[in-house]
Structure 1
Amino acid sequence: MTEEENTSGWDAIDHAIQQLYGEQEPKHYGTAIPYMLGGPDPLDGISAYAVDTPMPHWHFVTYGFSELYGKEGDDASRSGYGFELTFRLTRCENESEPPAWALNLLQNMGRYVFNSGNLFQPGDYLDANGPICLNSDTLLTALAFIEDPDLPELNTPNGSVQFIQMVGMTCRELEMIQSWNTRGFLAACESYMPKYVTDLMRNSYADIPSVIQATERGIEEDGSSTAFLFIQQLSWESPRKKLLQKNIPAKLQLGAQQATLLGSILGSRIAKKATLSLIGPDINIVFEAGDLPSLMETEREVRLTVNQQALNEIVEQLRPQASSFQIPSLDKLLIEIVPTQIKDQEGNVIKTIG
């Protein structure tokens, strides 16, 4: 970098980490060709620090979600997207370099944010739809996001930067998070996962009695924080399209993979008088609590008002297997559950649910 270049944002991050790790020289991986000039990696760099407590691990910190150089955005209070990602990964005793897959994972998070404009916040979660480390036997197929326990929010000349840590989660743990919330679930796991260090080879915490009890208690007290479920296998068939056929109910179709999860989240949302929106490719289905069950539809949205009776009629039938059943209290609404095919990156079916 030349003397003329303003690196105030980068320097502020360096200074914050120096307060934590002193003069330790990190393993730093920069980008040869900037993303704006056609390079493949959106982040300017990733640093990895070798940490020994509470267990040997790598502590990764990204450079690139925030404004590293001069101020360019209009929001003076926030630097760039307002955050940088961190990631803690167990480190073997003789490991001198961090694994390349972790660097690729962080760059993939950069591509997701830069291409979609969707930002990460503490409390978020993300289904990776496969192992977070490709071609590994890990059970970790999702990510949770929480404030980094050692790096507080930072004020820089370009605005504030929050350090958000990614945490590897299993499929069952993700379902518990969705049925409750990220912060509560991670707090319940903290004694087994200090500093939220990700261990690819660990077993699921979803089988630990104390975690199960904390989750069940949290769902009962707090309900679910999941207000939206994005479901690829979601469709709606209106009875208005069958004018020549009398007494034909509307039909809601969804994939078997989401059936059990939907029942769990829907029950806890409705219990707290909160809505749940199912977002599909062509239709949005909104469930809301009410005294009298009803069904209202527009071209892009269907609103289903459910009371306890209608809720029971729905939840009792939601299982991860192909089936169809009617909901008498909702104008005989027909719900059809169809098989879900899980495919690898090449498009090959590796598992069928339902």
Structure 2
Amino acid sequence: MSEDVVVGWDAIEEQMKRLYGEQEPKHYGTSLPYQLGGNDPLDGLSAYKATHPVPHWHIVTFGFSELYAKESEDTAYSGYGFELTFRVAREEDEEQPPMWALNLLQNMGRYVFNSGNIFTDGDYMDANGPICLGADTLLTALAFTEDPELPAIHTPHGRVEFLQMIGISEDELEAMKTWSTTGLLEAGQSVIPGYITDLSRDSMLQIPAIAEAVEQGIERDGSNTGFLFVDQLAFEPGKKKLFGKTPAKLTLGAKQAETVGKLLRGRLLKGKDLTLASRDCQIILESAEATSYEKGEEIVQLYLSPEISAELSQKLQAKEGAIELSSYDGLIIQIVKTYIKDQEGNVVSTVG
């Protein structure tokens, strides 16, 4: 392959060489391209031995950006505009990076390639189970931030950012949703130096100072989450009857009901909108003097008074049942059970 055809690949390697000099990484290539029926969407993964701040593997992907030729019409960015990195704790005598970490990065490739959704600084993702299958770990979700040692590069194919993936626990994910990904990561630097993923670590929120920083952050800043994907979401407008009208009904899954309640506190009570979306429904919640709603063909506009937002922030819990509002009888919130499934579609747990 001629030199000018691999400029994207070379640009990534040059950036890694800036950190690790002539160190020969452990490289894992893909024999059969994804486009030709291969299982792995990323063309390669390279793992470097790093020692600071603690021994770890620094893994970088090759394939989210355009490695060989410019194919997209977007001249500003190369491919999806990023590559992922992953820093994983390493034993001193360890000579190979853990396979679960390499497999997880390829799974991220499948997600992006199949959905078209991309990751950006501050994003998070629920894995609905251990990020290392079968491991006894609290880390069941992922966060994404700019790799602190790898600034964005400008290649002949466009800009490429390096996003570091970080394993996080369920309560840390909740804190990121209700406050800020960056805020929590900065508050917890002493627990996860270098944002290194260590399957054996406890939650950052077990440290009182970090838990307090989250509470103070929510109170001070509100939440940065303006859009939340909700698996179970539906809205039925009220119906006129002979002697009155039935209330409208908002249906939420138990797994995310409590999160929505916290977001009402961090968004609407701070004067910020909140959009809830599923595959079939989109509901925009806005703060207003009086509670009401407008139902369009595809979007529901739900206006909540501060009193109703405050009441719901307290009442929305991960428990099946109907919630009636004390100061507004035109809306009922129905919480339904959430069934958590594994990759084969088997129900592994139930919420609510």
Aligned to 2:318: 320
Mapping of 1:32-181 within 5 angstroms?
Answer: 32-181=31-180
What letter is aligned with 2:23?
Q
Contact 1:239 1:250 in 2 (8 A): yes
- Once the two structures are TM-superposed, the CA of residue 326 in structure 1 deviates from its matched residue by 1.5
What letter is aligned with 1:193?
I
Output one character per residue of 1:133-161: Cα deviation in whole Å (capped at 9) or x when no partner. Answer: 11111111111000101111111122111
Task: Decide whether aligned partners of structure 1 residues 322 and 69 sit closer, same or farther in structure 2, where only a CA change above 3 A counts.
Answer: same
Aligned to 1:279: 277
Percent identity between the two aligned chains: 54
Aligned to 1:197: 196
> Aligned partners of 2:304, 2:236: CA distance in 1, in Å?
19
Aligned to 1:341: 339
Mapping of 1:187-266 within 5 angstroms?
Answer: 187-240=186-239, 243=241, 246-266=244-264
- Once the two structures are TM-superposed, the CA of residue 328 in structure 1 deviates from its matched residue by 4.6
Q: 1:7 is paired with a residue of what secondary structure?
A: helix
> Aligned partners of 2:348, 2:275: CA distance in 1, in Å?
29
Task: Decide whether aligned partners of structure 1 residues 298 and 93 sit closer, same or farther in structure 2, where only a CA change above 3 A counts.
Answer: same
- Once the two structures are TM-superposed, the CA of residue 283 in structure 1 deviates from its matched residue by 2.0
> Aligned partners of 2:312, 2:195: CA distance in 1, in Å?
36
* Range moving further from structure 2, 87-96 or 174-183: 87-96
> Aligned partners of 1:46, 1:286: CA distance in 2, in Å?
40
> Aligned partners of 2:217, 2:84: CA distance in 1, in Å?
27
> Aligned partners of 1:37, 1:138: CA distance in 2, in Å?
36
Output one character per residue of 1:32-85: Cα deviation in whole Å (capped at 9) or x when no partner. Answer: 011122211111100000111211110000011111112222222211111110
> Aligned partners of 1:349, 1:343: CA distance in 2, in Å?
4
> Aligned partners of 2:241, 2:34: CA distance in 1, in Å?
54
Aligned to 2:309: 311
Aligned to 1:7: 6
Q: 1:187 is paired with a residue of what secondary structure?
A: helix
Task: Decide whether aligned partners of structure 1 residues 4 and 269 sit closer, same or farther in structure 2, where only a CA change above 3 A counts.
Answer: closer
* Range moving further from structure 2, 170-179 or 209-218: 209-218
Aligned to 1:270: 268
Residue in structure 2 matching 1:301, options 299, 302, 310: 299
* Range moving further from structure 2, 58-67 or 74-83: 74-83
Count matched residues.
Answer: 352
- TM-score (normalised: structure 2): 0.95
Aligned to 1:26: 25
> Aligned partners of 2:243, 2:281: CA distance in 1, in Å?
23
Output one character per residue of 1:197-233: Cα deviation in whole Å (capped at 9) or x when no partner. Answer: 0001111112211111211121122111111121112
> Aligned partners of 2:119, 2:281: CA distance in 1, in Å?
25
* Range moving further from structure 2, 325-334 or 263-272: 325-334
What letter is aligned with 2:322?
S
**Backbone CA RMSD of aligned residues:** 1.6
> Aligned partners of 1:249, 1:150: CA distance in 2, in Å?
54
Task: Decide whether aligned partners of structure 1 residues 135 and 245 sit closer, same or farther in structure 2, where only a CA change above 3 A counts.
Answer: farther
Q: 1:123 is paired with a residue of what secondary structure?
A: coil
Task: Decide whether aligned partners of structure 1 residues 126 and 214 sit closer, same or farther in structure 2, where only a CA change above 3 A counts.
Answer: same
* Range moving further from structure 2, 169-178 or 11-20: 11-20
* Range moving further from structure 2, 181-190 or 320-329: 320-329
Task: Decide whether aligned partners of structure 1 residues 329 and 285 sit closer, same or farther in structure 2, where only a CA change above 3 A counts.
Answer: farther
Q: 2:85 is paired with a residue of what secondary structure?
A: strand
* Range moving further from structure 2, 301-310 or 126-135: 301-310
* Range moving further from structure 2, 51-60 or 228-237: 228-237
Q: 2:59 is paired with a residue of what secondary structure?
A: strand
Contact 2:238 2:330 in 1 (8 A): no
Q: 1:333 is paired with a residue of what secondary structure?
A: strand
> Aligned partners of 1:67, 1:244: CA distance in 2, in Å?
63
Contact 1:294 1:330 in 2 (8 A): no
Contact 1:324 1:335 in 2 (8 A): yes
- Once the two structures are TM-superposed, the CA of residue 341 in structure 1 deviates from its matched residue by 2.1
> Aligned partners of 1:67, 1:208: CA distance in 2, in Å?
42
> Aligned partners of 1:17, 1:228: CA distance in 2, in Å?
34
- In structure 2, stretches of 5+ residues that fail to align are none
- Once the two structures are TM-superposed, the CA of residue 162 in structure 1 deviates from its matched residue by 0.6
Contact 2:264 2:310 in 1 (8 A): no
Contact 1:139 1:200 in 2 (8 A): yes
